[in-house]
Amino acid sequence: MTPRLATVYGWLLLMPAAILLIAFTHWPTFATLVSSTFSRGTPIRPARFVGADNYRALLDDPVFIQAAVNNLWFAFGTVIPSMALAIVMALWVNEKIPGRGLLRLAYFTPTILPMVAAANIWLFFYTPEIGLIDQVLGLFGLPGQNWLGDPDLVLPSLIVMTIWKEAGFFMIFYLAALQAIPPELREAALLEGTRRWTFFWRVTFPLLMPTTLFVLVNALLNAFKLVDHLFILTKGGPNNASNLLLYYIYESAFSFFDTSYAATMTMVLLIFLALLASAKFWLFEKRVHYR
């Protein structure tokens, strides 16, 4: 095969994936960017070009500011705890313990549940007075709480539910990474009298860094795209205490029919996540050891 023919053959192999990538990623991003520069259109008054006015309006929107702050706290409360819990679970089920298969299945079960089903399960847990959590508290003589109706409790309640939902998913990646570590390393460490914590921190965790970087990127993306749970549990309330960015985007587009404003928030969220992902790769690249 000549070099020219090989080049054509290579482009033909890439073409299906490139077409899908352009059709479902790059073109929607460009269309969203264009839409964010127009005003809200109505049957009486068509949309007109307004430039950066929608972006300036975001700075004066208290709901957007609150949703952004809520989302930052939500990401802070879910990403690191869910990853830490996933590592602990993976270390445990990687050991030779009785019922290891059932334990792995139990940890992974929340992941395979549909988001709407998981939200309905936790809606039963959080229901005041008759919910499972309040019933357990009542057994110890403790008062129940309005978990989803109290502005101070609603976001932590969502964080707990999200950690429960995602930790088992991240555990699978860590478990696969642990099983790829040569057992000779642990045997040599035991012969040297190395403590388990020292071996984990000095050997195991550095070897898990590629997986940690992958999981970190996915965990942060998941923290900024929560919609289903909010739709079932709180709808952003009470008083926007649980409103997150993507839910506010959904609400603006499909409840208020302001697609231009929703496109503006989408572009801000997209740029923020792109910068965040770039920063993570730049900061962690030197710490990642690929084998």
Q: How many domains does the chain have?
A: 1
pLDDT score, position 290? 52
Decide: 164 and 105 in contact? Cβ < 8 Å.
Answer: no
Q: Name the token pair of 7.
A: 């080049």
Contacts of 44 (CB under 8 A, 6+ apart): none
pLDDT in tens, 199-233: 888 888 888 888 998 899 899 988 998 888 888 89
Confidence of residue 32 (pLDDT cuts 50, 70, 90): very high
Rounded CA separation 145/273 (Å)? 35
pLDDT score, position 157? 94
Decide: 94 and 179 in contact? Cβ < 8 Å.
Answer: yes
Confidence of residue 242 (pLDDT cuts 50, 70, 90): very high
Q: Name the token pair of 283.
A: 């900061």
Is residue 276 included in any domain, yes or no?
Answer: yes
Confidence of residue 6 (pLDDT cuts 50, 70, 90): confident
Is residue 51 included in any domain, yes or no?
Answer: no
Decide: 181 and 245 in contact? Cβ < 8 Å.
Answer: no
Which residue stretches of the chain are H helix?
A: 3-21, 27-35, 53-59, 62-93, 100-112, 115-126, 132-139, 154-179, 183-191, 196-199, 205-207, 209-223, 228-233, 245-254, 259-284
Rounded CA separation 80/252 (Å)? 30
Rounded CA separation 215/221 (Å)? 10
Is residue 236 included in any domain, yes or no?
Answer: yes
Could you tell me which of 147, 164, 176, 177 has the C-alpha nearest to residue 241? 147
Confidence of residue 286 (pLDDT cuts 50, 70, 90): low
Is residue 122 included in any domain, yes or no?
Answer: yes
Is residue 101 included in any domain, yes or no?
Answer: yes
Q: How many CB atoms lie within 10 A of CB 90?
A: 25
Structural domain of residue 282, as residue ranges?
Answer: 63-287
HSE of 174, CA atoms in CB hemisphere, 13 A: 30
Could you tell me the CATH number of the domain that includes residue 222? 1.10.3720.10
Whether the full predicted model's pTM is greater than 0.85, yes or no, is yes
Is residue 5 included in any domain, yes or no?
Answer: no
Is residue 30 included in any domain, yes or no?
Answer: no
Is residue 281 included in any domain, yes or no?
Answer: yes
* 3-class secondary structure per residue, 44-72: CCCCCECCCHHHHHHHCCHHHHHHHHHHH
pLDDT (mean) for 92-104: 85
Instruction: Determine the residue type at 156.
Output: P
Cα-based distances in Å from 58 to 10, 18, 66: 45, 34, 11
Angle at 106 between CA 101 and CA 109, to 5 degrees: 120
